[in-house]
Structure 1
Amino acid sequence: MTTVAADGTSLWRHRPFVLLCGEQIASSLGRQITTLALALLAVTDLGTGPFGTAALLALTYLPGALLSPLAGVLVDRVRLRNLLVTVTAAQALVVGSVPLAATAGHLTSGHLYVVAVVCGALTFTLSVALQAALPRVVAPARLLGANSALTAARTSGQIGGPALGGILVGLLGPAPALLAGSAAYAVETLLVLALPAGLNLREKQGATSPLDALRSGLAVVRAQPRLRRMVLSGAGLNLGSGAATALYVFYAASELGLSAPQLGVTYAVYSAATVAGAFLAGRFARTTGLWRATQVCGLVAGAAVFLIPAASLGPALALLLAYQVTYGLSGTVWMISMTTTQQQVAPDDMQGRVAGLVQAVLLATVPVGALVGGALAAWLGNVPVLLGSATVALVSAATLWAPMRAVAADPVDPAGNGVPSRH
C-alpha cells in the first residue's frame, strides 16, 4: 500500500488519511468523556474540593509542558506505527483501571491523580507522534488541507463528547461511564493498527544522545524566523487567553449573572466556530498565504479576548457569543497555519523533535496564565485582570507584524507569503 497520497488523489480516497481522521474522532470522544467523568467522580464520589478538582485538570496538562520535547526525541527514534498502537492501547488500559478499582471498592483520589498524569503524558505523546505521521501520509503541498480536515474531525468529537459523557454519567454514574472512554481509546488503537506498515520505516540517524537530539530540533526552530516568531507569539497569546479562560465561568456566572444553560450555549457556539474555522482555514491560507493567515488570525484572536471584559458594559450574552465565534474561527485558522508551517520546515527525520518543542512552549504558558490570572483576580477583581489578559494576548499577536528579514516562499504560497520548504 502507498503511504503518501499522490497530489491528484482525493484525501478521502486515501485509506491512511481516512484512518487518521477516524482516530481523531475516537480520541476526542474518549478524552472528552474521560475528562468529564474523572472530574465528576472526584467531586461526587470522593468528595474532592475545588482545589483538588482544579489540580486534577492541571495534572493533565503538566506532562505535555514537561515531556513533549522528550516525546519528540522518542518519536524520531522508534517505529512510528508501533508507538501509536502502544500509546493508544495504554490509554484504554489506564482509563479502564478506574471503573475496575471502583467496582473492587479500592478507588482513591491518588488513583485519579495518577490516571490524570499518565493520560496527560500519553495524550501529548500521541499528539507529537501524529504531527510527525501526517507528512508521511500526505505530500507537503497537501498538508494544509489535511490539517484542516483532521481539525474538523477532532472538533466533531469535542462537540459530541461532553454531551455523550453527560448522558452516560447520568445513566450509569461517573465510574461506569469511564468504560465508554476506555472503549473509545480501544477503537482508536484498532484504527492506528490498521495504518500502513510503511509508517514504521525510519530515517537513518547518527548515534546522538537525547540531549544532542533536542539541540538539533531546537536548531531547526531557531533557524526558521517565521516559525520561531509564531511559537513565541503563540505562547504569549496562550498566556493571556489562558488567564481569561480560567476566569470565564466564575466571571460570567457571578458578575454577569449568566445561567448554566446560557454558559452552555456559549461553549456550544465556540465548538461550532472551530468546525467552521477548520473548513475555512485551507481556502483562507491559500488565498493570503500561510504567514499572512497566521498574522491576521493571531491579531483577531488577541483582540477578541477584549470582548470578555466588555461584556460587563452590556449586553453580556451577545458579547460573549461574539467572543466565542471570533476566537473559535480565528484561533483555529491560526493553529492550522502554524502546524502546517512547522511540518513543512522540519526535516523528515526531525518531525517529532520539532513538534515536541513547539508543543511544550505553547502548553507551558496555559497553566501559568490560569494560575496567575486567578491569583490576581482575587486581589484586583475580574475585569482589571481580564483587561490585562486581553492586552497580553493582543500585544503577543501583534509581534507577528514586526519587520523581519526576507525569507523564501513555500510550495503552498508561490506569491512569497509562506515559509521555507523543508525540501
Structure 2
Amino acid sequence: MNHPLHNRDFRWLLISRVLGNLSLGFAEVPLMWWVLEKTGQASLVATVALIGALGALVAAPLGGVWADVGHKKRQISLTLLADILIQGLLIWAVASHSLTLGGIYLLVGLSALFGNLRSPALGALLPLLLRVEQYQQGNAVMSLVVTVGMAASFAAAGAVTGWLGVSGALLVGLLLIALSILTLLPMREPKPIPTQKPVQPAGALAEGLGFVWRTPVVFWLMGMAMLLNLILAPIGPLLAPLAKLLGGSATQYGLLSTGFFVGELLGLVALNFIQVRNRFLTWMVGTWVLGGAVALLAWAPTPGLALGLLALFGVAASFMNVQAITLLQQVIPKEMMGRISGVLQGLNMGVQPLGLGASSALVGWLGLRNLFGVMGVLLMLVSLAFLQRPVRAAFSVPEPSSAPSNPAAAGGSP
C-alpha cells in the first residue's frame, strides 16, 4: 500500500493546511493576551472564545452544504481571503490605537464564521484523494504535520508578540494565510462518484441531520464528542490566565498552548506506525487520561509541570481524534461528506458556547484552579457512558476493504 504522501494532490493540500494552521497562533495569542492585559479579567478571555464558538452554529452546516454542491477548493480559497481581510482590519485597529473589546468580539466572530465555512470542505477533500485503506495513515500524517505547525505557531506567536507586539504578530499571521492560498492552487480536486440523485441546497441540511439520526455509529460518536467538548471548551482560553497565575508572560502562554500540540504530535507519530484495532478501548482510556491531566492542572505549581500535563492531554486526544475521523470517513458516503461533516461540526461546536459561558461565570466564583479540578472530575464521570451497550456497539464497525474509494485516488501522481 502506497503511503498517502506519494499522492501529489494530497501533498499540496497538506502544505496548504500547515501554512493555514501556522497562522492560527498569530491571531489567538496576541488577541487573547491583549484582552488579558487591557482588562485583567480571565472571564473576558473566555468570552472572546465564546464569540468565536458561536460562529460554528450557523457556519459549519452551511459550509457543509456548500462543499457538497460547489467547488471545495474555491470554497477554501475564498474563506482564506476573508481571513486576510479580517487580519488586516485587526492590524489597522491595533496600529491606530482604535481597537476595542467590542471590535475584537466582532472580528473574532467573523473569523470563526469563515473558518467554519471552510472546515467542512477541508474535511471532505481528504477522502476524495485517498483509498479507503489509506484513511488512518492519511488522517494521522495530516494531523501530525498540521499539529507540528500549530505547536510552532503558538510558541512562535508568544515570542513574536513579546518582541514585535500585537500588530507585528498579526502581520505574520496574515502573510501565512496568503501563502496557504498560493500553495493550494496546484492541487487538483477530484469529483466523488455519484451514487444517488443530487439534492438541492435547501434539503441538504435536513438530509445530513437525517443521516446522523439514522446511523447509530455516527449518532453515538457525536453524542460522546459533544459531551467531551462541552466540558473541554474552556481549556484553551483559560491557559492565558493560568500562565499569568504561574508568574508567566505572553511567551509562557504560547508555550503552554504548545504543550498540548507537542503531546498530540507524539501520539500522531505513533499512529503512523500503529494500526489501532480497538476503538472503544482507545476512547474510554483516552477519556480517563484527559480527565486526570485536566484535574491535576488544579495543583500544578510551575509552568513546566503544567506543560507536561497538557502534553499528556494531547497524546490522548490525538488517538481519540484520529480514530473518530477514520471511523466517520468509513461510514459516510463520499458524495454526502461535506454536508454531514458540516452538521457534525455544527453540533459539536454548538455545545462549546455553553461550556465557555459556564466557565466565564464560574471562574470568578470557584477560582481558576478549582475550575480545572471540577472539569477533570466531570470528564471521569463521562467515561461511564462508554459502559452503555449502544455506545459499545457503535464503536464495533468492521475494518474497510482495500478497494479504492475513488478511481482518481488510486494513482495519485508523485
Give the TM-score band, short-chain normalised. 0.7 to 0.9
Correspondences of 1:248-397 after superposition (within 5 Å)? 250=241, 254=245, 259=248, 266-284=256-274, 286-309=275-298, 311=299, 320-381=306-367, 385-397=371-383
Task: Say whether residues 1:92 and 2:84 are aligned partners.
Answer: yes
User: For the Cα contact (< 8 Å) 1:156–1:275, is it kept in 2?
Assistant: yes
User: For the Cα contact (< 8 Å) 2:64–2:121, is it kept in 1?
Assistant: yes
Structure 1 residue runs of 5 or longer lacking an equivalent are 1-7, 414-423
In the TM superposition, residue 185 of structure 1 has moved relative to its aligned partner by 0.7
User: For the Cα contact (< 8 Å) 2:76–2:118, is it kept in 1?
Assistant: yes
User: Whole-Å Cα distance in 1 between the matches of residues 369 and 163 of structure 2?
Assistant: 39
Query: Letter of the aligned partner of 2:226 in structure 1?
Result: A
Structure 2 residue runs of 5 or longer lacking an equivalent are 403-414
CA RMSD, 1 decimal: 3.2
In the TM superposition, residue 96 of structure 1 has moved relative to its aligned partner by 2.0
SS in 2 for 1:306: helix
Name the residue aligned to 2:410.
none
Task: Say whether residues 1:36 and 2:16 are aligned partners.
Answer: no
User: Whole-Å Cα distance in 1 between the matches of residues 248 and 333 of structure 2?
Assistant: 50
Task: Say whether residues 1:227 and 2:218 are aligned partners.
Answer: yes
Tell me whether 21-30 or 224-233 shows the greater mean CA deviation: 224-233
User: Whole-Å Cα distance in 2 between the matches of residues 265 and 167 of structure 1?
Assistant: 9
Query: Letter of the aligned partner of 1:19 in structure 2?
Result: W
Tell me whether 89-98 or 263-272 shows the greater mean CA deviation: 263-272
Correspondences of 1:112-191 after superposition (within 5 Å)? 112-191=104-183
Tell me whether 115-124 or 237-246 shows the greater mean CA deviation: 237-246
Task: Say whether residues 1:242 and 2:228 are aligned partners.
Answer: no
SS in 1 for 2:399: coil
User: Whole-Å Cα distance in 1 between the matches of residues 40 and 292 of structure 2?
Assistant: 35
User: For the Cα contact (< 8 Å) 1:299–1:398, is it kept in 2?
Assistant: no
TM-score (normalizing by structure 1) = 0.81
User: Whole-Å Cα distance in 2 between the matches of residues 58 and 317 of structure 1?
Assistant: 25
Alpha carbons of 1:162 and 1:352: their partners in 2 closer, same or farther (altered >3 Å)? same
Name the residue aligned to 1:420.
none
Identity, % of aligned pairs?
A: 22
Alpha carbons of 1:340 and 1:115: their partners in 2 closer, same or farther (altered >3 Å)? same
In the TM superposition, residue 196 of structure 1 has moved relative to its aligned partner by 0.3
Name the residue aligned to 2:66.
74
Name the residue aligned to 2:209.
218
Query: Letter of the aligned partner of 1:269 in structure 2?
Result: G
Please list the CA deviations of residues 176-221 of structure 1 after superposition, one character each: whole Å capped at 9, or x if unmatched: 43222111111111122221043599887534352x3222112222
Please list the CA deviations of residues 133-179 of structure 1 after superposition, one character each: whole Å capped at 9, or x if unmatched: 11011111111111111111111122211333244434443224322
SS in 2 for 1:305: helix
User: Whole-Å Cα distance in 1 between the matches of residues 36 and 240 of structure 2?
Assistant: 18
Name the residue aligned to 1:5.
none
User: For the Cα contact (< 8 Å) 1:64–1:124, is it kept in 2?
Assistant: yes
User: Whole-Å Cα distance in 2 between the matches of residues 370 and 111 of structure 1?
Assistant: 20
User: Whole-Å Cα distance in 1 between the matches of residues 109 and 226 of structure 2?
Assistant: 22
Please list the CA deviations of residues 220-256 of structure 1 after superposition, one character each: whole Å capped at 9, or x if unmatched: 22233233222111211222233566556656765xx
Task: Say whether residues 1:24 and 2:41 are aligned partners.
Answer: no
The total of aligned residue pairs comes to 397
User: For the Cα contact (< 8 Å) 1:242–1:369, is it kept in 2?
Assistant: yes
Alpha carbons of 1:263 and 1:122: their partners in 2 closer, same or farther (altered >3 Å)? closer
User: Whole-Å Cα distance in 1 between the matches of residues 145 and 76 of structure 2?
Assistant: 18
Correspondences of 1:47-62 after superposition (within 5 Å)? 47=38, 50=41, 53-62=45-54
User: Whole-Å Cα distance in 1 between the matches of residues 70 and 95 of structure 2?
Assistant: 37
Alpha carbons of 1:37 and 1:258: their partners in 2 closer, same or farther (altered >3 Å)? closer
User: For the Cα contact (< 8 Å) 2:45–2:237, is it kept in 1?
Assistant: no
In the TM superposition, residue 12 of structure 1 has moved relative to its aligned partner by 1.8
Please list the CA deviations of residues 89-127 of structure 1 after superposition, one character each: whole Å capped at 9, or x if unmatched: 222232123334556776555543332122111212222
